């Protein structure tokens, strides 16, 4: 089993920044591909950012490119999402997810094996 625990969410004004963290335990974190997803009220869960197990490649949905940065510290079993220039439309519950398979999971949430409980991010205008 893999346990994922997100933290760092909160209330911030538009234009502000937050850094989300996702701490993993249970198996060898450095073998996982990791992703961040979000779900706003009344909307489907959507891919935000992903990072391969080695950290060599990162991926972003178009709406966050240039504002969000995903990174990982395999020594700390943690993946991060630095969010800058936040907008009200970024308001959502943010989830981290892990994929165990050797193939990268991409933006498809069905490809991820484990999920955290989520952390709320609210951006006020």
pLDDT exceeds cutoff 90 at 72: yes
Q: What integer pLDDT is reported at residue 116 of this predicted model?
A: 97
For 100-125, write each residue's pLDDT tens digit. 888 888 899 999 999 999 999 999 99
CB 113 within 8 A of CB 105: no
Question: How big is the chain, counted in residues?
Answer: 125
As a whole number of angstroms, the distance between CA 73 and CA 81 comes to 12
For 29-47, write each residue's pLDDT tens digit. 888 999 999 999 999 999 9
pLDDT exceeds cutoff 80 at 26: no
Surface-to-core class of residue 108, CB atoms within 10 Å of its CB (0-12 exposed, 13-18 middle, 19+ buried): exposed
Mean predicted confidence (pLDDT) in 89-94: 98
């Amino acid at each position: 089993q893999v346990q994922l625990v997100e933290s760092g969410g909160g209330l911030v004004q538009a234009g502000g920044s937050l850094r989300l963290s996702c701490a993993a335990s249970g198996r060898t974190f450095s073998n996982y591909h990791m992703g961040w997803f979000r779900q706003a009220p009344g909307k489907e869960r959507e891919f935000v950012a992903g990072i391969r197990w080695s950290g060599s490649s990162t991926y972003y949905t178009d709406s966050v490119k240039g504002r969000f940065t995903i990174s990982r510290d395999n020594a700390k079993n943690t993946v991060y999402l630095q969010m800058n220039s936040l907008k009200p439309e970024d308001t959502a519950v943010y989830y981290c997810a892990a994929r165990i398979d050797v193939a990268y999971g991409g933006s498809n949430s069905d490809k991820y094996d484990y999920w955290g409980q989520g952390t709320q991010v609210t951006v006020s205008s």
